[in-house]
Amino acid sequence: MNFANHLLVFARLPKVGINKTRLISAIGAENATLVYRQLVDRTLCQVRQLVSEQGVRVTVCYTGGSASDIENALGDDLEFHEQIGQSLGDRLQLATKTAFEAGANRVIVIGTDCPSLTSQDLSSAFQQLEAHDMVIGPALDGGYYLIGLNAECGSLFTDIDWSTSKVLEQTVHKSRELNLRVHQLRILADVDYPEDLLPLRASGEGQLLPFHSESEKLSVIIPTINEEQNLPATLRSIGPIVDDLEVIVVDAGSTDQTRSIAEQSGCKVFVGNRGRAKQMNAGAAVATGEHLLFLHADTLLPEGYRCEIRRVLDDSVVCGAFPLTIDTRRFTYRLLECCIAFRSRVLQMPYGDQAIFFRAADFYQQGGFRTLKIMEDYELVARTRKLGRIGFATHPVTTSGRRWLKKGILKTTIINQMCILAYRLGFSDEQIAKFYSSNRANTVQSNLTSRNK
């Protein structure tokens, strides 16, 4: 065995209620543990392959149970040491220090949350430590899935905001202050939140999940935040929830009765990360329908919408949407609807308030919505239409006119077009969202001022 290379695997005992707690509200405690157990097994499979190829030393640094418990759960062919320390930084610092004191020249630490990690990634990391002081594997969420050193460096693990999106940035900053030669591996995704399960639905890792899409079933996904005024009517338009229909409400922390209303209607409800893209991805990730319908909480579906969805998706289209009617009698809004119809059908650019729907397999293959703060529907449709034609239902959905009524048609249209232009010019979603929010706030303040006069 090559004791110069030492791999530390940080793991927790698979046990219902303590694994993947951020997934529990979406898929339940037992399913969350099943997902975690399969992630651990996959990681250790890659670790064992590395051992067979290169003979590195491996220690599983465990927590959440006794040595016998963890050995019974994960196998008796590995070395096990209990994690010691109050914080994650303390535990990482002590574990790497112990490995170097035991004679290692290169030490790598990994977790068990990254389903795409391979033995080749681990091998490459050890190779890079021959020419670099540090190697790090960036995670999509702003953390890292792997860190490796060729000498003890405990200060790398101090004063880090663990479990936040700042971990990678802060660690890299510390490495620069220490003048370390750093090599970054490829970026991979961890599984921490419900939306992180989405890539598994498209990849060969689908077997990690304890649920699958069911033929002829429709999943309606509704992102919400304080929608108690609009949600009841939207749920009535969906109709009774039956075996081949599920309604998933992904709430972003409402302070009103939104979640209670959804639960009383028989919906599957859980609280997700805030942001419409994240919420819709989270709902899609745990959906069990063959077809997915993304519905805004203030949009009403027409009668027979399920037949319309099946009809459109039975054709050779990449996705579908509904025509749009705005819930107001003003004539100017009929003109607006005509413009929306032209943009949707002729330009093939429906927006999210038109209840976009997909075959689940197609949505997963595309990777779902990009996690943008704004323009997530525009980006997805623009990406989708490059793959083929977008189909349309016959009867329209009816959406609330609150956006246009607050700002006025002209101002709303100008703001929307400026957002699209900014997006096409390469402005970040953060910048566009800030612009959109500031104009919305100005409009609200203007309305309040005019009412008080």
Q: Which of 369, 450, 371, 452 is nearest to 407 (CA)?
A: 450
Q: Which of 49, 52, 19 is nearest to 34 (CA)?
A: 19
Assign 400 to helix, strand or coil.
coil
The total of other beta-carbon atoms located within 10 Å of residue 75's CB is 13
How is residue 84 written in tokens? 């010691």
Backbone dihedral angles phi then psi of residue 68, each to the nearest 5 degrees: -70, -35
pLDDT of residue 447: 45
Q: Rounded to whole angstroms, how far apart are CA atoms 308 and 174? A: 56
Q: Rounded to whole angstroms, how far apart are CA atoms 266 and 242? A: 10
H or E stretch covering 146 = strand 144-149
Beta partners for 397?
324
H or E stretch covering 123 = helix 119-128
pLDDT averages per 10-residue partition of the chain, 453 residues: 87 94 95 94 95 93 92 90 94 96 96 95 96 96 95 93 93 95 95 93 74 94 97 97 97 97 97 95 96 97 97 94 90 88 93 96 94 93 95 94 73 85 89 83 44 41
DSSP state letters, 26-87 = HH-HHHHHHHHHHHHHHHHHHHHHHHHHH-EEEEEEEESS-HHHHHHHH-SSSEEEE--SSS
pLDDT in tens, 41-60: 999 999 999 999 998 999 99
Torsion on CA atoms 231, 322, 290, 294, rounded to nearest 10: -40
Q: Tokens 């104009």, residue? A: 439
pLDDT of residue 290: 96
How is residue 378 written in tokens? 């525009």
pLDDT of residue 414: 86
Backbone dihedral angles phi then psi of residue 252, each to the nearest 5 degrees: -105, 30
Q: Are strands 397-399 and 299-300 parallel, antiparallel or unpaired?
A: antiparallel
The total of other beta-carbon atoms located within 10 Å of residue 333's CB is 18
pLDDT of residue 166: 94
User: Which segments of 189-341 are extended strands (E)?
Assistant: 214-224, 245-251, 268-271, 289-294, 299-300, 319-321, 324-326
Q: How far is CA 161 from CA 40, 147, 164, 191, 397, in A?
A: 25, 16, 6, 19, 45
H or E stretch covering 357 = strand 357-359
pTM (predicted TM-score): 0.89
pLDDT of residue 405: 67
pLDDT of residue 2: 63
